Structure 1
Amino acid sequence: MNRRRGATALTLVCAMSLLAAPGLAHAAPKPKAPRSLEEVRKEIDSLYHKAAAATDAYNAAEEQADKQSAQIVALAKAIVAGQGKIERLKGWAGAAARAQYRAGGLPPEAQLALSDDPQQFLDGAGRIRQGEKATKNLLAELARTQDDLQTYTQKAGDHWQTLEANRLKKEAAKRQITKQIAEAKALESTLEAKERARLLQLERDAQFKAQTAWLDSGVLKDINSKASEQGRKAVQFATAQIGKPYEWGAEGPSTYDCSGLTSQAWAAAGRGIPRTSQEQLRLLPRVDVKNMRPGDLIIYNKDASHVGMYIGDGAIVHAPRPGRNITIAGAGSMPILAVVRPDA
């Protein structure tokens, strides 16, 4: 028994010695180096950029859903009208059958054959041909209306499926937007007031640096085109919104997102344009940067996730991101993807 206890004690001592030996003990995790404010700024920018891309997806799905809803309403009206027409055609067919029954149940051809009056025979023959044509036309119209009704019903079903798909896209985009904005706000909330003020200054410094580099390229000396009449009205509308908050998915009048501002500004100028920055890029004519004029739209980032309106003198008006208000900024303060012209 004593030998067994001694062996156990020796084992424990050896084990403790091994654990305490240099290189064998578990090293304590090194504390993470504190991130610089510039790193925090870049992470926040990245989160808001992802939110902007998701906002564009949300707006696109919403626009498509609106179109599908309008088409479903139009098809529903066409279905109701078609059903009413079928009822009327059936009513006329029933009236013709009842008239034949009241005439003794004999078909017009038999009644004509029994006539002794030659003139009545000739008149009757003409009426029979007219009646046959009318009956044939009635049946053909009934068949066409039934086919149309079937087509309208099929199309309505297809549109309902598309509408549901767009609803799911909207919900997915909404979740993504909410997640990214919440993460960005949570990250900002960890900063003290002085750090938040410094963060804003870093943001402005980065924009100033990019704008200065853009201007130093000499691009502005080639940009001297004047706004069109519609472009001038669009600029007036957009600049009148300065100071209003950014809100994703908003099209005014009190809040806007980036493409909500540009699309509403051009609507106020009398020209409807696509709702999202990606569709504005895809569907509007492009112009060279050196040829842009006030009212033109500048699409930013590789994924076309942001848009601003050029107002002249190397500046844009835009709705930047959540937590910021509509403001004027340098046209080259962000990576320019393309310039498009709504009234080309």
Structure 2
Amino acid sequence: METKIWKNTELEPAVKALQKGQLVSFPTETVYGLGADAFNEKAVSKVYAAKGRPSDNPLIVHVSRPETVQTYAQVDARAQKLMDTFWPGPLTIILPIQVGKLSALVTGGLQTVASRMPDNDLTRALIDQVGSPLVGPSANTSGKPSPTIANHVYHDLHGKIAGVLDDGATKIGVESTVIDLSTPQAAILRPGKITAEQIEAILGESVDTSEHHVSADEAPKAPGMKYRHYAPDKTVYMVKEADWTKAIIWAQSQLEPVGLMLSDQMIEAHHLAGMDFVWPLGPDGTTAAAKLFAGLRNFDDQKNVKMILVAEMPLQPENAAYNNRLAKASGQQYFDAQEMMDF
């Protein structure tokens, strides 16, 4: 299959491909999604095959308007409040399904479904014209860093999908917050741009933010909970701010280049501006989140780079999504100068 990259003015071929049951990658404010008609079971099955995704990993249904969710899920007052406040936007809401309305391939065999309304005019127009909501996991090989530009999608999935609708770089760069409303207490299953504090302010109740671990025989309610995610092939280590001097000295002593991903302030403090194998993360956690996956992909594609060292952001609510993705990409490994002497 020849994979096309369509400009943001070329909506018609993307619409036709989806209506024929083919796969099309679409842009959102978070990352690029891999779209298929959510009501076409055969098309949905192609998503798992293209990504190499485990079949018990549920898919997020993307809608162009909130009322669509009521056609397949049980929408309560809490969900309506969050939709009214945060949609369109980077919030995925898990609700009980209406029996028989969605394939088990979409829900991962669960009695719940995850939905969101992306903050991207082009993609909402795409969904409208297709005439059906779209499943939309990240448009990458399963487990790898998510795509934030169309070329990332093409790199991973060319020959496997009909095309990519190119709308430039995504703004946020990490996936949406996932909030589970299928339980008495709302729970965040995946941190994102929208924080627990923001959700609590709207719901008027506390939100569970504890880690939700999924056993080997248990189906995850949301993407990113069970399987290896966001990780390049190269070894990744998180670096605490206090350890960067040692990390840089160690990296510069290696025979093979080490990729360094750190804030603009740290680059300036260590006189690294303009140097090879340095990826600027910008001035804060917001810019770092937008640049994280692109940086990991950049170094993963450089054959001579053996390792990637990435800055952990301050442990504050607004940085939770960035630190969560980095922890998963690194397998929660921190740089330790003493241990690295034996590397």
TM-score (norm 1): 0.22
- Richer in strand (by share): 2
- Richer in helix (by share): 1
| Higher Rg of the two aligned structures | 1
